[in-house]
Amino acid sequence: MPEVNLVTAEDLPASSDHEGEAAFFDVDNTLMKGASLFHVARKMYQKKAFTLRDAAGFAWKQAKFVLRGETMEDVHSVRDTALVLAAGIPVETIQTMGEEVFDEMIESKIWPGTLALTQQHLRSGRQVWLLTATPIEVAGVIASRLGLSGALGTVCEIEDGHYTGRLVGDILHGPAKAAAARELAAREHLALARCWAYSDSYNDIPLLSAVGNPVAINPDARLRRHARDNNWPVYDFRSGRRAATWGLRAATGAGIIYGGWKGFGRIRRR
């Protein structure tokens, strides 16, 4: 499995009833609308780290991602472009940028319904982790700001305080997420059969299938079909409607999940 960084928040309130339980959340289109890496690219463009043409390419990929969901082709395309553009950038620049990106761009894109789920799990005494292909520097900021237990994310190679443009291991995506969850479960003494996982993407079925309580959020067409065939709960916060309810009370300790339509985000142009 790929190497992943752990970014851990303070310990959660103790709860013997839910000891050994955790909830794993994907980020892009699950916790937030669109792709978090796009907003990092916007911020880098604002800081003149790359050209308008590079920014336009990210904007086009973001528009496709919001409208149709992710594909492996898009994931690898964004990864490769981002690695090339990040080469030579100081680590401290990206770390500072992660804070700015959350405050200025990501916080307003978080789905209220998904955020409610994370907080309900925390109140129940469960650990809540982000598992995402998003760079660990950004994933860690999101987890910290939301008061979650921590984050597993993609790790970029660093030499002499600068990014090299290469990955450590591979991107944390698809089957790699399931492997990371198993490793985390072993480290944190979690019972996966009593854990939850949330994602929007068919590519995350290995992660969803690894836990006892899989939930589809804002699913793409293939994941929606798979969830229906396997009687998994489905929530679609893009339209504010509750698509399915089976099992969610057990997952969250409450049956009221809210969400709303906020419209598609504008793509700023210069």
* pLDDT tens sequence across 116-175: 999 999 999 999 999 998 888 889 999 999 999 999 988 878 888 887 877 777 778 889
Which one has a higher pLDDT value, 71 or 112?
A: 112
Instruction: List the catalytic residue out of 11, 17, 28, 220.
Output: 28
pLDDT of residue 89: 77
Percent of all residues in the chain with a pLDDT value above 70, rounded to a whole number? 65
Structure token digits, residue 83: 């690695």
What is the pTM for the complete model shown? 0.72
Q: Does the annotation mark 28 as catalytic? A: yes
Task: Quickly state the pLDDT bin for 35 (edges 50, 70, 90).
Answer: confident
Q: Does the annotation mark 17 as catalytic? A: no
Q: What is the mean pLDDT of residues 23-40?
A: 88
Percent of all residues in the chain with a pLDDT value above 90, rounded to a whole number? 44
pLDDT of residue 86: 64
Task: Quickly state the pLDDT bin for 103 (edges 50, 70, 90).
Answer: very high
Q: What is the mean pLDDT of residues 95-106?
A: 86
166 SS3 class? strand
pLDDT of residue 261: 25
For residues 3-25, b (16+ Cβ closer than 10 Å) or e, as one string?
A: ebbbbebeebeeeeebebbbbbb
Q: DSSP readout, 170-226?
A: --S-THHHHHHHHHHHHHHT--GGG-EEEES-GGGHHHHHHSSEEEEES--HHHHHH
Instruction: List the catalytic residue out of 11, 26, 80, 236.
Output: 26
Task: Quickly state the pLDDT bin for 187 (edges 50, 70, 90).
Answer: very high
Domains of the chain as residue ranges with CATH: 5-33+109-252 (3.40.50.1000)
pLDDT of residue 97: 79
